[in-house]
Chains A and B, each alone.
Chain A
Amino acid sequence: MSRPLVVRELRKRYGDLPVLGGVGFDVAPSEIVAVVGPSGCGKSTLLRLVAGLDTRYHGEIQVGDEKVCGPHPSIGLVFQEPRLFPWLTVADNVAFGLREREDDAARAHVRDALEAVGLSGFGGALPKELSGGMAQRVALARSLVTEPQVLLLDEPFSSLDAFTRMRLQDHLQAAWTRYRPTLLMVTHDLDEAVYLADRVLVFGERPGRLVDVIPIAPPRPRDRRDPALAALRVALLEAVHLDRGERAVA
């Protein structure tokens, strides 16, 4: 069961530097919401706060009707880098967050998660034997296996080449279809946002704030070549550029 994510009037500063200046939005259960915006707009900070890694903020973050005040097993986070534990096999990495890791149920969960990201049969491999894309898929499986109600992704595919990235977007979508978590992903890839999300939140710079929300209506699974997506991408591009005071050349 996935739960909604509610963010209200979220403010955060590092010393004198305001990073988030009052951000508020809702993410419905099992909805996919992408956050785009220039670097330094507090996107990653937002995810760290929601994940409970940093609890010094003003405002409110709720998952379901629970206030976030520290890491919580119902919230998962996939980082920009895979961050696999190099001494654990792929299967043990995936099992890392499970309370019971040795029993048959755990093994079945791990198998399912690896299958969901298309890595069946790689359980015994070591992280050093994986490509960048495979490692990130293992990281995704590790976050999914605990069946979090809210899954956060921090530019998860940004360090991968274009082809691998597209493949991983499809893996993510397949995995989401299977586990159906509420999904909040930060990205700088507008195509990715338009391809995957139900809604795209556009953030403005310093301090980070919400400047636009663009709904992406076409039903999933989507076709990357769909002209409707191309039009939405243009709209998104304009929203991002308008905020920076540079009129997009239409």
Chain B
Amino acid sequence: MRATAAVTARRRWPSPLPWILPAAILAAWWAVGVFGIFAAHQVPPPSVVFDAAIGLWRRGLLQQDLVSTTVRVAEGFALGSVVAIVLGTLTGLSRRADTMLEPTLQALRTVPTLAWAPLLLLWLGIDEPPKITLVAIGAFFPVYVNLVAGITGVDRKLVEVARVFDLGRWEIARRVVLPASLPELLTGLRLGATQAWLFVVVAEFFGSSQGLGFRLTDSQQSTRVDLMFVALVALAILGKATDGALRAIERRVLRWRDTIGEARR
């Protein structure tokens, strides 16, 4: 009885543990300025950065940056992961597709993905398409690699059960192999989303007039370190929010899993 009470109590009051480190970082950031370890033009104190964020917001620029970066990430991530799911399912399930596609995809994967940026600019112009494509490439590989690993790692014994019931190849794929590889797919999606945020910043370094990546380079040129910090903090918050959302989905979808991670929840 007491154990149950303890569990509910813990649920009602979220643990402060995850906040200790961010609070320490914030304190250290503030201390760095106060004790003069870095000059204010190198590391502006939190209050200055906060004021800069407010200022940027009042001019309507912060909203603009947030929206355009988020939209690029959403579009690129969606595009990249859909293509990855289609190709990953193909190569995972069909040996012929695997022999045909896998060597090429592996070769492409060894190209540092950011090296695509100049080429994409050349091919797709300087508008949205090259940026979204770059984000999509970034999201593609983690999703693809994890999904294929998941599919090829499905327990043969479960497939055998479906065979005993005389299910066809397609039915086995749909009802056994794909659901069984869902954990790996979700891991891939989470990694892909992280990559997407990484790549959007690089994409915005080149020829854009808004977005958090643009804000970073632009502020660097105008030596507005405070604005660079605003962009960095915004990226951290957005990336964390995305991962949190995907984790929540993962928790829901993988409720059936019997793992340490599942037991901790």
Contact = CB atoms under 8 A, between A and B. Distances in A.
Contacts of B176: 85
Given A81-B157, A83-B158, A85-B176, A71 B165 contact: yes
Contact of B164 (A53, A85, A127): A53
- Residue among B163, B180, B256 with the highest chain A CB neighbour number at 10 A: B256
A56 interface: no
Contacts of A86: 256-258
A81 B165 CA distance: 17
A126 interface: yes
B66 interface: no
Nearest to B263: A128
A86 B258 CA distance: 8
A76 interface: yes
A96 B165 contact: yes
A97 B166 CA distance: 8
Residues of A contacting B: mostly:
loop
A97 B179 CA distance: 16
B161 interface: yes
Interface string B147-191: 000000000011011111110000000011001101000000000
Residues of B contacting A: mostly:
helix
Given A79-B161, A128-B256, A72 B166 contact: yes
Given A71-B165, A72-B166, A87 B157 contact: no
A87 B165 CA distance: 18
Interface residues of A, number: 23
Nearest to B164: A77
B163 A71 contact: yes
Nearest to A86: B256
B35 to A, nearest CB: 53
Interface in B119-173: 157-158, 160-166
Contacts of B179: 85, 87
A73 interface: yes
- Residue among A53, A128, A146 with the highest chain B CB neighbour number at 10 A: A128
Nearest to B255: A126
Given A75-B164, A85-B179, A87-B256, 11 more contacts: A53-B164, A70-B166, A71-B164, A83-B157, A83-B161, A85-B161, A87-B182, A126-B255, A128-B257, A128-B258, A146-B165
Interface of A: 51-53, 70-73, 75-77, 79, 81, 83, 85-88, 96-97, 126-128, 146
